[in-house]
Structure 1
Amino acid sequence: MTDNTANYDDSHTTLTTVRKKKVYCPDTAFYGDCRDVEDFEKLNRVGEGTYGVVYRVKDTKSGSVVALKKIRMERETDGMPISSLREISILKRMKHPNIVNVSDVAVGPKLDSIFLVMEYCEQDLGTLLDMISTPYTLSEVKCLMTQLLKGLEYCHSHSIIHRDLKMSNLLLTSTGLLKIADFGLARTLSLPGKPMTPNVVTLWYRSPELLYGDANYTTAVDLWSAGCIMGELLQHRPLLPGNTEQSQLNLIVKLLGTPNDHIWPGFTQLPLGKALMLPKQDKNTLKLVFPRISDQSISLLAGLLTYNPRSRLTVRQALQHPYFREPPRAQDPAMLPTYPEIRNLMSEKEK
């Protein structure tokens, strides 16, 4: 290691030593004594979020295993990036069983050594679906969707849009609790609505209004992502795996049919309304793609994957959908199948 910035590398099992000191942490909730990064012993790297690398570590003071997310600072010359400040601010005031809990901030000797201390979750759904060949059962999918929507309901009731819901940002504990993670792209809704960048949400989960460049979008973008996640859980592979904005729209049209100004008023007037061309297809093919699921399952999917964001189900409407009351009932989270900690096994192989 060439400097003393408390970075990890593969040849070290602990973080570099730093002096215990009083630091101003980047949120009023953290003002005063932050945790010293020396308090944590690296076990392994488990992933990389939108704005930082995540490690599994041992808290040497409590003995507990937690996750440490290093805030990405490479391109910053004027302090912390606004995305990191926003993530810290949002996560510290959110307390819900289906949202990852941030307990503290740890610091090194320089301002570019700042870490979020978070609860450790054994799995992420993205890695699980990639590595496990056995699909979830219908009752297990219902369990996971219930938890996802409950976490999302909490976010939206606090005027927060996640803006990057995808499988790899859904964590799973050993007791079957699903946790929404990685709030680096999250935003608090302002009143009145202020334009936001439409270049958010990983492409496979990006809603039509974002693809068309709408800067005045709402929490409805998260519900579209939830529909893509539900479809992916049901078929055990990505529902709409486009590799460009145009190919993504083509896949959406193939699934839902071609939109028009009747079902989605004003969509042709959006910034990219004339730049992105749509193929012609009259029919919705959801029932052909999912021939073995119930009519209520199709109804919920269709309600989430609705072109017009104003007609799309809200998270509360989704949670009240008859799909969640019909058999099979949602599996108890504690009864979800458990698997070896795949990310840890993968990181061991990389050493």
Structure 2
Amino acid sequence: MSSKSRWATDDDPETEAILAQRKREKEEQRRAKAEKQRQLDEQQAQASASDSQPQDPDTTAPPKKRRRLSNDHNEDQPIPTANNEPNILSFPAQEWGPCRNIANFERLNHIEEGSYGYVSRAKDINTGEVVALKKLKMDNSPDGFPVTGLREIQTLLEARHQNIVYLREVVMGTKMDEVYLVMDFLEHDLKTLLDDMSEPFLPSEIKTILLQVLSGLDFLHDQWIMHRDLKTSNLLLNNRGEVKIADFGMARYYGDPPPKLTQLVVTLWYRSPELLLGAEKYSTEIDMWSIGCIFGELLTKEPLLQGKNEVDQVSKIFALTGPPTQQTWPEFRSLPNAKSLRLPPTSSAPTGTPPLLSRAKFPFLTNAGLHLLSSLLALNPSTRLSTKECLAHRYFREDPRPKPKEMFPTFPSKAGMEKRRRRETPEAPKRGQEAPKLDFASVFGGQSSGDTGEQGAGFTLRLG
């Protein structure tokens, strides 16, 4: 017996009745949908006609939903323009594009040459603003863009602070190896000012300068950046009393624990003893030692430790601070270059942590100031003050208080057309230069090989 399909369309009356019923249901649904659309259109027409009339405050019915037509637009949609093109909203954002050319700047005069670039004073032709142009040196980079330049650009872009020089943009020259950094122009650097001043800064002015330098350096250290070449020639001052840290050619990010880093950093006169003794791991303490040297230079108007070479520099450091002992610097014997150092016998252990420097060299410094200077020039890196500890030091809260920047004296600019009077000062180490093998056996009067002898810093040196 064969069974019929329920969808068969023969003369089965039951099947025909089912199909007819479904057809009627579809027709009813179609008519209901059309009627609903007609009602919506009528309501829309009524709403359009009553837009200019006041609304009935007693109306509590929710607004009717209408079908959005392609020709409709409201305030949430872009309004078509005359060319029937949508007016797309735009938001301010950083634009990507090619660097400007150096032809947009008129160079006025050369300022100075550093280890990693040539600095000039220039004028932006479009705006008329005077800026500082630093042309990066490409001599020692046969393999491409120098890493020192990349670090300087990266660091300056990250270090947006009122006491750090502002990098405006990077521009290109006519050749691919001509790269210029466009920065804010400041009239002075502290080194040139100190050379030309007949008297050193006043105590209140020294505090104003130090507070600004420490504030900028504190920001850098919070961003895990070491400057590694702090000195007075890299501290710029404008005629509004604002101090800014410059020259980030040796700056570098670090971590905790600090990685193995190159030993040959920081200009010799501002280099910490652990670097001179061959430390391979160091941190922000090397910047704090440089701050101590800058502090002493502001007080005396002369660089504090003017060594002729690394051995002479170590001897001058120990002449100022006293030789290291097991109490003042327990770990110094573990440094590579300290193994040859023969310490003299000490009659008495130094007092204080860290030991205070001799007051004879700083007769006009208060007790609080001497403590701050001694804490910055501590031989043991772990006992040096951090930037935050220095900013909170009592030296800055005692009289005389720091002078307001608005009251800071102004000076004739030496970065203008007049020629600078340059003094013989050591340059910053160049990248790729290896640290020399040093023998410190002669620092405290010991004998070493060689025929030449030299007297310096209170110790007899025999340099081989």
Give TM class, smaller chain: 0.7 to 0.9
Runs of 4+ in structure 1 over 3 Å off? 275-285, 345-350
Is structure 2 residue 242 aligned with structure 1 residue 181?
A: no
Q: What stretches of structure 2 of length at least 5 have no aligned partner?
A: 1-93, 351-355, 423-464
1:190 Cα offset (Å): 2.8
Where does residue 282 of structure 2 map in the other structure? 217
Aligned partner of 2:236 among 162, 167, 171: 171
Q: Quick one: distance in 1 between partners of 2:167 and 2:208? A: 24
Output the amino acid matched with 1:202: T
* Cα distance in structure 2, aligned partners of 1:277 and 1:120: 49
d(CA) in 2 for partners of 1:104, 1:246: 41
Percentage identity across aligned positions?
46
Q: Write the distance in 1 (CA, Å) between the matches of 2:102 and 2:341.
A: 48
Q: Secondary structure of the equivalent of 2:329? A: coil
1:342 to 414, 419, 435: 414
RMSD: 1.9
Inter-partner Cα distance in structure 2 for 1:102 and 1:276: 44
Residue number in structure 2 paired with 1:111:
176
Aligned: 1:333 with 2:333: no
Q: How far 1:52 sits from its partner (Å)?
A: 0.1
- Match runs of 1:71-220 below 5 Å: 71-220=136-285
- The equivalent residue for 2:81 is none
Q: Would you say the 8 A contact 1:153–1:316 is kept in 2? A: yes
Are 2:169 and 2:181, in contact at CA under 8 Å, matched by a contact in 1?
A: yes
**Cα offset, 1:345, TM superposition:** 4.4
- Structure 1 residue 62: Cα displacement: 0.9
In structure 1, stretches of 5+ residues that fail to align are 1-28
Give the CA deviation at 1:193. 2.1
Residue 305 of structure 2 aligns to a residue whose secondary structure is: coil
Q: Is the 8 A contact 1:45 1:347 kept in 2?
A: no
Paired residues, number: 322
Letter in 1 for 2:106: E
State whether structure 2 residue 230 is matched by structure 1 residue 230.
Answer: no
C-alpha separation between the residues in 2 aligned to 1:349 and 1:309? 36
Which string of whole-angstrom CA distances, capped at 9 and with x for unpartnered residues, describes residues 156-183 of structure 1? Answer: 0000000000010000011110000000
After superposition, give the CA deviation of every residue in 1:293-315 in whole Å (9 maximum; x if it has no partner).
11000010011111111111011
Q: What is the alpha-carbon distance in structure 2 between the residues aligned to residue 258 and residue 118 of structure 1?
A: 43
Partners in 2 of 1:75 and 1:246 — Cα distance? Answer: 27
Q: Secondary structure at the match of 1:139?
A: helix
TM-score, normalised by the number of residues in structure 1:
0.87
CA distance in 1 between counterparts of 2:233 and 2:421 reads 20
Higher relative contact order (CA 8 A, sep 6+): 1
Partner letter of residue 113 of structure 2? E
Which of 88, 110, 113 pairs up with 1:45? 110
Paired position in structure 1 for 2:378 = 306
- After superposition, give the CA deviation of every residue in 1:95-131 in whole Å (9 maximum; x if it has no partner): 1111000010010232211000000010000111112
Q: TM-score, normalised by structure 2?
A: 0.67
- Structure 2 distance, partners of 1:267, 1:344, is 46
Give the 3 Å change call, closer, same or farther, for CA 348–227 of structure 1 in structure 2: closer
